[in-house]
Homo-oligomer: A and B are copies of this chain.
């Protein structure tokens, strides 16, 4: 279906049969790799690295040089959109992302507008183009963004939070204002992801990292409809190729069937849900991506292999599985553990399909 030498990942997302289960890892270009830390030191801050297309390309390719991964993912952050909206994204050591100017007043919310992806976000498009050239049709490149709800959480809280008190106070006190943020942000995410697709990404993923902190009722009010709006706005085909999308709500296992119903191609699963049961629930509606606990990678090689096989066996020999961790890989992961995982997934999934 494509010029790619390895399009297993794209075919699995479209629930077409593949010879093995493709695997990539959330945050696969990251601090567990010494070569990443080296490039990061040269770049300066995390955002300096994101905004330098040559260096972003360099780190995107690092895990592919080490491991037999079936996809690359753009090196960037889920919060680039609100940064481009003027909120001032920065990172503090050990505390994660923060905004210099979180939304505090009604006028700030009313003033939000959709950033032009070819202005403030052009650095992302440049990185996409450079990475595609460097990948040279070896494996597909994944683009991504945070979900409207997750972006809104950071925009209102100003940082990650233990209780999401500020945004939930807004949700229960001034739902009109929160819906306004979510509406503008949805349009911004659509424009941003479509520009990434135009620039060359071959699949997109929406990270609803904080959807799971909501009640079901609030999730169905403040997150799910905006995920659906994003999915409905996405470019589905480019150059005659389908551009599949993946929606990942961390902690969203209870709402899996609802998520599978918004029109996405694939649903990402964190490690808390049994993937066999998840497949029973979604049937042939969507592909599933996941879902090994990232902490398994701290175990000895035999235990890593056993746990990886359990996930593959639970999903079974059906089409439509992309192997991944249930969350980003930990910075403390021994790099050798990833080799064991990738090789086990490839070998065992071939065996499951009746190969050798």
Give A contacts to B, CB under 8 Å: 163-165, 168-169, 172-173, 212-218, 251, 253-254, 271-274, 277, 291, 293-296, 298-300, 303-304, 307, 310, 326, 330, 332
Contact = CB atoms under 8 A, between A and B. Distances in A.
A298 B332 contact: no
A270 B211 CA distance: 15
A162 to B, nearest CB: 10
A306 to B, nearest CB: 9
Given A215-B291, A217-B310, 11 more contacts: A165-B298, A165-B330, A169-B298, A172-B304, A212-B272, A214-B272, A215-B293, A216-B273, A216-B274, A216-B277, A251-B251
A303 B173 contact: yes
20 contacts: A163-B295, A163-B330, A164-B295, A165-B295, A165-B298, A168-B296, A168-B298, A169-B295, A172-B295, A172-B296, A172-B298, A172-B299, A212-B272, A214-B272, A214-B293, A215-B274, A215-B326, A216-B272, A217-B310, A251-B251
B298 A173 contact: yes
Nearest to A220: B274
Contact of A303 (B164, B172, B277, B310): B172
Most-contacted residue by chain B among A213, A254, A330 (CB, 10 A): A254
Contacts of A163: 294-295, 330
Contacts of A217: 274, 310
Nearest to A165: B295
State how many copies of this chain the complex holds: 2
A293 B273 CA distance: 22
B254 A293 contact: no
Nearest to A307: B172
B215 A272 contact: yes
A165 B272 contact: no
A157 to B, nearest CB: 12
Given A168-B298, A169-B295, A251 B272 contact: yes
A167 to B, nearest CB: 9
Contacts of A274: 215-217
B215 A271 contact: yes
A12 B173 CA distance: 32
A212 B277 CA distance: 17
A303 B271 CA distance: 34
Contact of A165 (B251, B254, B332): B332
A31 to B, nearest CB: 14
Contacts of A216: 272-274, 277
Nearest to A310: B217
Given A165-B332, A217-B310, A272 B254 contact: yes
Contacts of A164: 295
